Structure 1
Amino acid sequence: MNITRNNVDALNAIVTIELNKSDYEGEVEKVLTNYRKTANIPGFRKGTVPMSLIKKQYGKAVKLEELNKVLQQSLNKYMQDEKLEILGNPLPVVKEDLDLDKDDISFEFELGFAPSFDVDLSTVKNLTQYKVVADEKLLDDQVLRIRKQYGKMIQKDEVAEGDDLSGTFLNEEKGIDSPARFSLDVFKNKKEAAKFIGKKVGDIVTVNTKGLFDDDHKLMDYLKLDHDQVHGLDIDVDFKIEEVTATEPAELNEELFGKLFGEGKVSSLEDLKAQIKQDAEKQFAQQADQKFLNDVTESLISDTKFDLPSTFLKKWIQTAGEKALTAEQAEEEYSRSENGLRYQLIEGKIITGNGLQITFDDLKDYTATMIRKQMAQFGQLDPTEEDVNNIVARVLQNQDEIKRLSEQVMSEKMLNLFKEKVKAKTKEVSYEEFVKASYGE
């Protein structure tokens, strides 16, 4: 056997494996001998079939199978010995003139190499790490939401701002006869919403569907129309008011505080706001961390320059899945996945360069913390170590869970590394300002 490599360029190579008869003949003869012992061919007793007949019937198929085994083993060993970092898998070069009857046969494989590049986190610039605070408006809104949630519903005869309405949307031409319940703030078009103010149970209010909601898809829910019908829909619909209700907010007293947080933990409006602020800012911190992680990731993908063996990867994508793709489909798939591949390579460099590793203790600790949080949500605030450890052991018996948790642990390690090494300005903002910074809304 002889293996040689021709580097086409820095990212592509052709590996040629030349096999001699001695590289595969012994295994082929062994398999054919076993076939001869068990072959059931009319006119011959089992075990007495002539080897020439066995070779004629099975020889080529067995030889091809054994060639594939030798090639796979040899190619894998060669790549390990040469310490080649490849992308995808080796692609066999199709030969029209391949003659399996020859004793000495040559095979070629295309390789696509991982590019060589460096990642310097200190060069990531112009990023902001947000500290999101719960401002007074948010706290007041949350207090009102809680009071309404635990408040008393009262029946009304006339519609006022903030009321809830039940009734039926009607349009005979479009076949609309759809019961619905909503509050007036569901409408984006405030002019249409204002038509309901002062109306009474039994009245009919006509509204136009164009721009009624912030998203036309909501018309599917309220009018029970198909997806294709709601885009740009511009018709008048009647709404027959059948019920008007308002919520009388609950009193801020010890009974409500006890329902929310347990007896004696909150005793005043100030305490309630402090608890809301603490809980909200914990959630905001997680969202701000995720944004920072995403921003660093996007910056690294954008600013870390390296080439990929794109032609090779597109060819590999055509054959990598359960179903073969056309060249056009592979091109589309490559376009969708290129940034993901680039970040996988960047992430690998960061992990290796900074010695980030996941130990089994990391997984156990992370899983235990996650389980304690979940148990707390269901009122189990002080579980025993034994109970938690038993659940951890069961979770970590599942390989899919181990994979999912490992990704989360590594994401946490990456975030901590970015916070340490990426230069970013810190900015304190309200949640509303944070949403605008994140989504431009």
Structure 2
Amino acid sequence: MATITRENIGLLNDKLTVKVAKEDYLPAFEQSLKKYAKTANIPGFRKGMVPAGLVKKMYGQSVFTDEILRTVEKQLNDYMVQEKLDIFAQPLPLDNDASQLDVNKAIDYSFHFEIGLKPEFNVDVNDIKVTRYKINVTEEMINDEIGRLQIRHGKMSEPETVTSEDSVVNVEFIEVDAAGNTIEGGITKSNSLLVKYFTEAVRQELMGKKKDDTITIQLSKAFEEKEREWVLNDLGLSKDSAADADKFFQLLITKVGFVEKAEMTEEFFETVYPARGIKTEEEFKNAVKVEIENYYNQQSSSQVQDQIYHHLIDHTNMEFPAEFLKRWLQNGGEKPKSAEEAATEYPNFVNQLKWTLITSKLTSDYQVAVEPDEIKEFAKQQIMGYMGGQSVDDAPWMDEYANRMMKDQKFVENTYYQLQTSKLFQALESKVSATEESISAEAFAEKLHHHHH
């Protein structure tokens, strides 16, 4: 009769010894050999007439090893189910040597495994305090957005020369030294910029310029901070490096354009917000304001979720079988890792593990469920998003598309996880105590910049 003994070898780390007696594996081994004898194709013997001794000699050792290992695995799994062991990953074999198994020695064999046990912990969401930011939508923000919409829906023309701040220049950035000589192997990159993105001095210099003209700029002096950050990023440079900001570039103008802003007419309102019946500038302004508010409400909600996440990670105490998990990181993946690699990966790995345990406990506590219909609806919303948000709900191909997506296991799993996380956070947002605080869009952007997981 197989026996299993359990002994503690470290924090949340146990050793399981599975001892199998010969009566546990011998009958099954003999059965398997008989099967082999019936089906073996060996030259010189009719099928099913191969002597048992020859079959044992040829296949015995591998069948013997397989049978014992299968028995051990079954006993181990049965034991863990019976004892309700909640473990991480899989049991790791401890110095087991399958070459000790000998088909000519039907004796008791022992196998050792180590397991890492999941910790017990409490999650208290009632003492989480968060700040919910209410972003002030200013007249200037509304007017800026309207200006952007007028440009996006405006008419593009190609005048000879740069005539105003609203002119667009297509330029080739060519890296040069302070004297204006091209740097060999330097950066070259095409871009398209509005003249008003440049500083006052450069704008003056651009006036009257035409295709194939050039000017030389130094990034730190040619752009204000916000635009400079964007340009540096586009050129593959670092926004935090003073040396990068001080680089010189020659700008070769490849095209001059001018966008004639769309007029504030009913036709324009209809283009931007179809089927809303917007007739007046006032109504249009309100629609833009609501759009901006919705955007910031979403951002604010994400930021509250970020605060909840950090609180739960920082304030939920949990112990882990660190040595076991490091060994598992080394040997449990597709490719073995070195002890150093496992040690480097461990802090990040354990944080993810902690978050997984917290969410699975809270998901169960709050009974967060995701139904197949919700996943299907998500697939439909996604395709509507690709089509610019227009409603194609009653299109017959829509259902077909959604049904096809439901057969894609990866899509279903990812969507399930996404919807489950989103529902869990909604439940948590209603439980935590939130203090509302009014804030400018700039100050809110700073907070997002400093605090991201």
Please classify the TM superposition score into its range, dividing by the shorter chain length.
0.7 to 0.9
Secondary structure, counterpart of 1:165 in structure 2: strand
For 1:60, the equivalent position in structure 2 comes to 61
Distance 2:387 2:220 in 1: 46
1:370 aligns with 2:381: yes
Amino acid across the alignment from 1:370: Q
Over the residues paired in the alignment, what is the CA RMSD in angstroms? 3.2
Distance 1:312 1:194 in 2: 63
Residues 30-429 of structure 1 aligned to structure 2 (within 5 Å) = 30-95=31-96, 99-101=100-102, 102=105, 103-125=107-129, 127-154=130-157, 155=159, 157-158=161-162, 160-170=164-174, 172-174=182-184, 180-184=191-195, 190=199, 193-194=202-203, 196-201=205-210, 203-208=213-218, 213-214=228-229, 216-219=232-235, 232=244, 236-262=248-274, 265-360=277-372, 362-363=374-375, 366-367=377-378, 370=381, 374=385, 377-380=388-391, 383-384=393-394, 392-429=402-439
Distance 2:380 2:437 in 1: 29
Once the two structures are superposed, what CA deviation does each residue of 1:309-336 show, in whole Å capped at 9, x if it has no partner? 1110111112222211111222222222
Bigger shift: residues 159-168 or 110-119: 159-168
For 2:20, the equivalent position in structure 1 comes to 19
1:263 CA drift (Å):
5.8
Amino acid across the alignment from 1:425: T
Structure 1 residues 362 and 198, CA gap change in structure 2 (3 angstroms): closer
1:185 CA drift (Å):
5.2
Structure 1 residues 26 and 439, CA gap change in structure 2 (3 angstroms): same
Once the two structures are superposed, what CA deviation does each residue of 1:335-356 show, in whole Å capped at 9, x if it has no partner? 2221110011111221222333
Once the two structures are superposed, what CA deviation does each residue of 1:192-234 show, in whole Å capped at 9, x if it has no partner? 744634352254311235686426442259xxxxxxxxx8486
Amino acid across the alignment from 1:416: Q
Once the two structures are superposed, what CA deviation does each residue of 1:379-425 show, in whole Å capped at 9, x if it has no partner? 336x3497766554443333223212211221222122212211221
1:430 CA drift (Å):
4.1
Bigger shift: residues 34-43 or 67-76: 34-43
Secondary structure, counterpart of 1:206 in structure 2: strand
Identity of paired residues, percent?
29
Distance 1:178 1:119 in 2: 52
For 1:225, the equivalent position in structure 2 comes to none
Distance 2:132 2:201 in 1: 41
1:74 CA drift (Å):
1.4
Structure 1 residues 114 and 185, CA gap change in structure 2 (3 angstroms): farther
Once the two structures are superposed, what CA deviation does each residue of 1:162-218 show, in whole Å capped at 9, x if it has no partner? 42113444554426776543224556xx47744634352254311235686426442
Unaligned runs of 5+ in 1: 222-230
Distance 1:242 1:8 in 2: 72
Structure 1 residues 179 and 2, CA gap change in structure 2 (3 angstroms): closer
Unaligned runs of 5+ in 2: 177-181, 223-227, 238-242
Distance 2:442 2:364 in 1: 38
Structure 1 residues 211 and 121, CA gap change in structure 2 (3 angstroms): farther
Secondary structure, counterpart of 2:89 in structure 1: strand
Secondary structure, counterpart of 1:56 in structure 2: helix
1:5 CA drift (Å):
1.0
Equivalent pairs, count: 428
Distance 1:175 1:19 in 2: 70
Structure 1 residues 5 and 289, CA gap change in structure 2 (3 angstroms): same
Bigger shift: residues 350-359 or 151-160: 151-160
Distance 1:29 1:192 in 2: 93
Distance 1:235 1:138 in 2: 32
Distance 2:191 2:419 in 1: 45
Amino acid across the alignment from 2:207: G
Distance 1:195 1:237 in 2: 17
Distance 2:363 2:372 in 1: 17
1:128 CA drift (Å):
1.2
Structure 1 residues 341 and 46, CA gap change in structure 2 (3 angstroms): same
Distance 1:263 1:406 in 2: 33
